């Protein structure tokens, strides 16, 4: 083999073997040893099959190349392990020497290291498989998301950052009475105008009326969220529009039912309480008086529960309105405290009312709702206290604006207390600290929930501090205007004169109207 060819093969890192016609080795390149298991095998192998067992059985093909019947013979990707954990790949290529070569009539076997190429190809194949798998997963994920979007009962509109509509689901098309071609690519602000929402108020959640294509108005709740990703093409806004027709109809039906059931329950209950009151004022034996008192007190308790349920329903429906009138704060609180004096005296506990010297006399607010909060809190305090005292205090804690004050009320007791892990249930409707509380003390769990909502309606808040077996203190605040007391100038007293003949000279007839047969008996 001439020098130029050898040099060229060396530059390409291609090794060679020159074989005789009987396939024995005549000449070997200097670097060919790296393609055999060990250099010792190279020196001991007289035939090429001893070094490359892959050629065993290929003698016919090699002979065809030698005789010129076949131009070449090759085997690709032969593997060797020159070192543990290392794999070497090479291609084996056999040709017959040309007439110009001194080795004419002999075979030349070339060995080319293709390890890097095969590893690269394997890496590309693996990456391609992983890419295909990832694309398949992305496609499945996209299909999954699309199925969720298109199966949603709520209308969904997705826009780009510019406000151009990108995606609408069938529910949105049905609600707006438009197909996707009429919506996709259009501005979301046109839809917002049909919803009666100002563009700057489109974020967040709000209830409004949706104007459909046919002119119908549908009550809806619209909410908007921002889509923020690292890819600008996937940034924008998501609008969710919920049809509130059924909910509004259910609320209306609930209000009508409560209004109807309120009358149907209050009327016979008032008769029970009234008849018990009349019967209690008659001559009865002591055990009969006890029975009538039980009926009367149970009727009052049932009426209180009914009023709480109706008040909560009104608050949920947004129908409860506060009656703003001026009233004497101390007299209002003292009247509530007096209601619980007999019960406290009967249980042997002390009931105290403490005020601050600078407490305003006349304030503006809803005295009935303030009484309702105080009655609920004092009722619980007296109920859950066996020994010790119950104290109601009120102090002004801040003057917010001229002629307005923030008041803090506190109802403390020395009763059973509340564990920390149970306090989150206190202000939830129909919930009590423990089921054993209901069995032992009774109650519906509505009082504190109602107190919380009433406090918030009056611009205040309510909270509790408590230790088990040491007592509890319920705090609540409200902000109210201060009303200056009106100076009264007493007029001269005039002696009262009673005319015993007035009824005879001016006889009067009184008409009492009552639609309930039972109530007619005591009207």
Question: What pLDDT was estimated at residue 101?
Answer: 56
Confidence of residue 510 (pLDDT cuts 50, 70, 90): confident
pLDDT tens, residue by residue, 349-383? 999 999 888 888 899 999 999 999 999 999 989 98
Q: What is the mean pLDDT of the chain?
A: 82
Task: Please write the tens of the pLDDT for every residue from 395-435.
Answer: 998 765 667 889 999 999 999 888 877 776 777 755 555 54
Q: Which residue has the tokens 């073997």?
A: 17
> Over pLDDT 70: what percentage of the chain?
85
Q: Is the pLDDT of residue 240 over 50?
A: yes
Q: What is the DSSP secondary structure assignment for residue 490, as one 8-state letter?
A: P
Contact 483, 326 (CB under 8 A): yes
Question: pLDDT at position 439, please?
Answer: 45
Residue 472's pLDDT band (cuts 50, 70, 90)? very high
Task: State the average pLDDT over residues 204-228.
Answer: 82
Strands 236-243 and 325-328: unpaired
The shares of helix, strand and coil residues in the chain, as percent rounded to the nearest 5, are 45, 25, 30
Name which residue leads in pLDDT, 380 or 4: 380
pLDDT of residue 354: 92
Map out the domains of the chain with their CATH numbers: 3-113 (3.30.450.20), 152-243 (3.30.450.20), 247-319 (1.10.287.130), 321-481 (3.30.565.10)
Q: How many CB atoms lie within 10 A of CB 81?
A: 10
The CA–CA distances, whole Å, from 37 to 13, 51, 78, 89, 118 equal 18, 8, 12, 13, 20
How far apart CA 120 and CA 99 sit, in angstroms, is 38
Model confidence at 116: pLDDT above 60: yes
d(CA 109, CA 115): 18
Collapse the DSSP code of 265 into the 3-class scheme (helix H, G, I; strand E, B; otherwise coil) and give the result.
helix
* pLDDT computed for residue 432 by the predictor: 55
CB 376 within 8 Å of CB 450: yes
Task: Give the residue among 381, 380, 338, 363 at the shortest CA–CA distance from 485.
Answer: 363
- How far lies 33's CA from each of 28, 37, 51, 116, 464, in Å? 9, 8, 10, 19, 89
Categorize the per-residue pLDDT at 199 as very low, low, confident or very high, splitting at 50, 70 and 90.
low
Q: Do residues 12 and 112 make contact, with C-beta atoms less than 8 angstroms apart?
A: yes
* Phi, psi torsion values for 10, nearest 5 degrees: -65, -40
Q: How distant, in Å, are the alpha carbons of 213, 305, 386 from that of 346?
A: 70, 23, 11
- Provide the β-strand partners of residue 15: 111
pLDDT at 473 over 70: yes
65 contacts 71 by C-beta, under 8 angstroms: yes
pLDDT-derived band at 264 (thresholds 50, 70, 90) equals confident
- Number of CB atoms found within 10 A of residue 168's CB: 26
Residue position matching structure tokens 């100002």: 198
Residue 45 pLDDT class (50, 70, 90 cuts): confident
Burial class (CB in 10 A: 0-12, 13-18, 19+), 518: middle
Phi, psi of 266 (to 5 degrees): -65, -40
Q: Which residues does 483 contact at the CB level (< 8 Å), separation at least 6? A: 326, 362, 363, 364
Confidence at residue 518, expressed as pLDDT on a 0 to 100 scale: 65
Give the residues across from 521 on adjacent strands: none
**H/E/C letters for each residue in 424-447?**
HHCCCCCCCCCHHHHHHHCCCCCH
| 255: exposed, middle or buried (Cβ count in 10 Å: 0-12, 13-18, 19+) | middle
Helix segments in 92-157, DSSP class H: 115-151
Q: What is the pLDDT of residue 438?
A: 46
pTM for the full predicted model: 0.51
| Order of all β-strands in the sheet with 389-398 | 350-355, 389-398, 404-413, 471-481, 462-467
Give me the percent of the chain exceeding a pLDDT of 90. Answer: 15
Which range among 25-34, 163-172, 257-266 shows the weakest confidence by mean pLDDT?
257-266
């Amino acid at each position: 083999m001439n020098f130029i060819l050898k040099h060229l093969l060396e530059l390409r890192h291609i090794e060679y073997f020159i074989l005789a016609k009987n396939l024995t080795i005549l000449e070997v390149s200097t670097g060919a040893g790296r393609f055999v298991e060990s250099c010792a095998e190279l020196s001991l192998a007289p035939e090429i099959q001893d070094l490359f067992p892959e050629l065993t059985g290929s003698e016919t093909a090699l002979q065809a190349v030698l005789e010129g019947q076949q131009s070449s013979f090759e085997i690709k990707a032969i593997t060797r392990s020159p070192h543990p954990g290392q794999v070497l790949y090479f291609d084996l290529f056999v040709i017959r020497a040309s007439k110009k070569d001194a080795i004419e009539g002999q075979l030349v076997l070339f060995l080319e290291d293709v390890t890097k190429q095969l590893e690269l190809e394997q890496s590309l194949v693996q990456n391609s498989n992983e890419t295909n798998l990832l694309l398949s997963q992305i496609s499945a994920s996209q299909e999954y998301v699309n199925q969720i979007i298109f199966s949603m009962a709520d209308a969904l509109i997705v826009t780009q950052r510019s406000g151009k509509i990108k995606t609408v689901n069938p529910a949105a098309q049905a609600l707006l009475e438009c197909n996707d071609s009429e919506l996709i690519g259009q501005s979301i602000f046109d839809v917002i105008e049909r919803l009666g929402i100002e563009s700057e108020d489109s974020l967040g959640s709000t209830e409004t009326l949706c104007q459909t294509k046919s002119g119908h108005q549908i009550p809806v709740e619209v909410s908007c969220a921002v889509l923020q990703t690292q890819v600008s093409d996937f940034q924008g806004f998501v609008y969710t529009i919920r049809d509130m027709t059924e909910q509004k109809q259910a609320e209306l039906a609930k209000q009508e039912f409560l209004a109807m059931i309120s009358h149907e329950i209050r009327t016979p209950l008032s008769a029970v309480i009234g008849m018990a009151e009349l019967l209690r004022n008659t001559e009865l034996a002591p055990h009969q008086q006890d029975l009538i008192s039980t009926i009367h007190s149970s009727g009052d308790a049932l009426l209180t529960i009914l009023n709480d349920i109706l008040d909560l329903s009104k608050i949920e429906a947004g129908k409860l309105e506060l009656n703003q009138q001026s009233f004497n704060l101390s007299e209002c609180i003292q009247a509530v405290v007096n209601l619980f004096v007999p019960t406290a005296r009967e249980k042997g506990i002390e009931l105290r009312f403490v005020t601050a010297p600078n407490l305003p006399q006349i304030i503006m607010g809803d005295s009935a709702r303030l009484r309702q909060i105080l009655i609920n809190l004092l009722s619980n305090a007296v109920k859950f206290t066996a020994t010790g005292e119950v104290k109601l205090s009120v102090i002004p804690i801040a003057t917010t604006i001229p002629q307005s004050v923030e008041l803090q009320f506190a109802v403390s007791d020395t009763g059973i207390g509340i564990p920390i892990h149970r306090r989150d249930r206190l202000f939830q409707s129909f919930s009590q600290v423990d089921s054993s509380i209901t069995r032992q003390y009774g109650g519906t769990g509505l009082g504190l929930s109602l107190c919380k909502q009433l406090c918030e309606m009056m611009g205040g808040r309510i909270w509790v501090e408590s230790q088990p077996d040491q007592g509890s203190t319920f705090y609540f605040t409200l902000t109210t205007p201060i009303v200056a007391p009106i100076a009264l100038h007493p007029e001269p007293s005039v002696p009262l004169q009673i005319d015993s003949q007035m009824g005879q000279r001016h006889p009067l007839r009184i008409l009492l109207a009552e639609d309930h047969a039972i109530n007619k008996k005591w009207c």
